[in-house]
Structure 1
C-alpha cells in the first residue's frame, strides 16, 4: 500500500463506520461481516466499537475462494438445508437488537461460470431461513450499514489501465475515501451536514407530490408512476431506539417507493 497516510485514513474510516454508520452506543452488540483480506479494517472497527461502549463485536468472516468451492462442490440439497443453529443465532441477534456492519469488497466474478440455478436455490433458501433478520433491517428495527472496502479483484475491474495491483488498489481506496469524506478534516461533521442536506432535499420533493418520474437515456424512455401521498426520505434513518444511523457508505440517496401498477415504457441496461 503506497497511498499517503493510508493507516490514518483507514482509522478515520473505521471511526466513521461505527459512529455515523451504525452509531454504536453503550451496551450495543455489533455483528461485522467482512472478507478475510479486510482484516486491518475489521480490527480497527472492532477497536472503535468497543471504545464507544459495545459489549460484544461478533465478526463473520467470508472468503471468495472458499465460497466458490462450496458453491461448486456442495450438493444442492445440502446447500439449501440451512442448519437450525444458524437460524437460532440470527433470531437471537435480532432479539438483542444487534447492529450490523457489512463490508463489501467481493470479487465481482467470484462465482462466474458456476450453476446459476444452484446459486439461486441457495440464496432463496438462505433468505427464507433468515427472513426475520432481513425484516428487522428493512424495518430499521436495528442499525445497519453497508460500507465499501477495496480489494484486488474489484480494483482490477474498476482501474484496469493501471499497471500494477498495488496502483489499482490504491486508486480504489482513494476513490472510496473521497466518496465517504475521509479526506475531510472532520468526516463525522461532514456526514452530519450531508444527512441534513439530504433530508432537506427529500422534504422539497415531498412538497411537490409528483405524479410520475420520466427517465430518458439512450435506449430508455420510461415513466414510473408515484402513489398519492408518497414520501421521499434521505439516506439517514432512525432505529426503534431513536438512534440515527446511515445505512450506506458512500451514499447520495434520496428515495421513495413507486406505484407498481403504473410503469410504462422501455428501459435499457448497459
Structure 2
C-alpha cells in the first residue's frame, strides 16, 4: 500500500491544489467513515494551510443501501429542513468543499430504480436553490478518490482483495500525479498550463458547432452557445480563488446550445448511475432533445436518467479529451465517472455550467435560458470517445477545421 508520506502528499494536493483553502476559510469535507485516516491527513493539511475551521460530513454506503432496502420511499423523500439550513449556513460562511469518494459500483443494483429516482428528485428539488453555490463557483470545490474493497474488486476481479485495493490505489495516485519523488503541486501547475493552452485555441476558433463521428456509429452535431467559453483544468471562484474541481482531470469542456444537438451518439464505456451500471447504450437527439435511446443492460435506469426532469433529456456539457491520455493508457476501466470521463470525450445530460458562457455566473436563470443554457436538477456525464474519434469544428462562416483525428487533438 502507498506509504504514509505519499498519502500525506495526496492530502496536501487535495487541500492546496484541489480546493485551495484560503486563510480563515472554512473547509467542509464529505467522506466515507472508512476513509477516516486520509481525512485526518486532509484536516491537518488544511489547518497548516490556514483554514479557519474544518467540518466533516461523514457517510457510509452500506447504511445508505440498507435505508433503500428497508425504509419506505415516502420516508426517504423527506429532506429535513435542518439539513438544508446547515448547507445554507456553510454557504453563508463562504466555505469550500472537498469530496472524498470511494463508492462501490453497482452497489444499488437490486434496488428499484424508480425508488432511487423519486428520492433523488425530491432531494434535488428541495436543495435546488443551494446548487448555485458550486455550479456558479461561488466557493471552491474539489473531488478526489480513494479505493474501497468493493470498488477495487470490481476493477480487478482476478486479484485478491488486498492486492486489488493496492492496485487501485496505485492507479489513482498515478492519475493525480502523486509519487514518492515528485512535487505533485508543481506537476499540477504544469498540467493545468497544458489544458489551458487547448482552451485558448478552442476559444480563439470560436466554433459555431462540432461534428463528431467514430467507428462505433456516432454521428452527432453539437452546436455551441454564442459567446461560449471553453474551460478545463483549474478554475476561478467568483472571489478570484484558483482551484481544481476534479482530480484527476484531462478535459476541455463547453456549453452546448440546448436546442442545437442533432444525431446519434454511442457510449464507449459503461455508466455508473444510481448505483447501477448502464452498458452498451446509445442516444438519439433532435433539436437538442433525446428522442430515442437504448441499452443492452439497465435500460430502465437509462430511462430514469433521461426522464429525471424536464431538462435531463438535453445536454449541459460537451468535453474533449484525447484518446492517448494518461488514464486511458492505464488500460483500466474504473467504473467511476471521475476517472472514466477523463479517459474519453464525454457529454453530460442535464444542467449546464454558467461559467461556460460570457457573464454566465452573474446571469439569472432566465438570462441563462435565453443564452441557450440547459437547466436541470441533475448533471450526469457519459463517455463516447474512441480510438477513431474524428471531430470537425464548424466555424461561424461555415468552413471547417479538424480538431480531433484518430482520437486525439491535432493542435
TM class by shorter-chain length? over 0.9
Partner of 1:173: 169
Secondary structure of 2:57's counterpart equals strand
Partner of 2:83: 86
Partner of 2:249: 251
Secondary structure of 1:65's counterpart equals helix
1:225 equivalent among 206, 223, 227: 223
Deviations, residues 50-80 of structure 1 (Å, cap 9, x unaligned):
1111121111111111001111211222211
Partner of 1:105: 102
TM normalised by structure 1 equals: 0.94
- Stretch moving more, 172-181 or 112-121: 112-121
- Report deviation, 1:132: 3.1
- Report deviation, 1:240: 2.3
Instruction: Say yes or no: does 1:35 pair with 2:21.
Output: no
CA contact (8 A) 1:21 1:246 kept: yes
Partner of 1:260: 258
- Report deviation, 1:216: 2.2
- Report deviation, 1:130: 2.1
CA contact (8 A) 1:137 1:144 kept: yes
Partner of 1:11: 8
Partner of 1:121: 118
Secondary structure of 1:125's counterpart equals helix
What count of residue pairs does the alignment treat as equivalent? 266
2:143 and 2:171 map into 1 onto residues whose CA distance is 16
- Report deviation, 1:46: 0.8
Instruction: Could you tell me which runs of 5 or more consecutive residues in structure 1 were left unpaired when the two chains were aligned.
Output: none
Partner of 2:234: 236
Deviations, residues 168-217 of structure 1 (Å, cap 9, x unaligned):
11111111101101026110011112222211210111111222222223
TM normalised by structure 2 equals: 0.63
2:150 equivalent among 145, 150, 153: 153
2:36 and 2:14 map into 1 onto residues whose CA distance is 15
Whichever structure has more strand as a proportion of its residues is 2
RMSD: 1.3
1:169 and 1:216 map into 2 onto residues whose CA distance is 37
Secondary structure of 2:212's counterpart equals strand
Whichever structure has more helix as a proportion of its residues is 1
* Greater relative CO (CA pairs within 8 A, separation 6+): 1
Q: Which runs of 4+ in 1 moved over 3 A?
A: none
2:129 and 2:103 map into 1 onto residues whose CA distance is 25
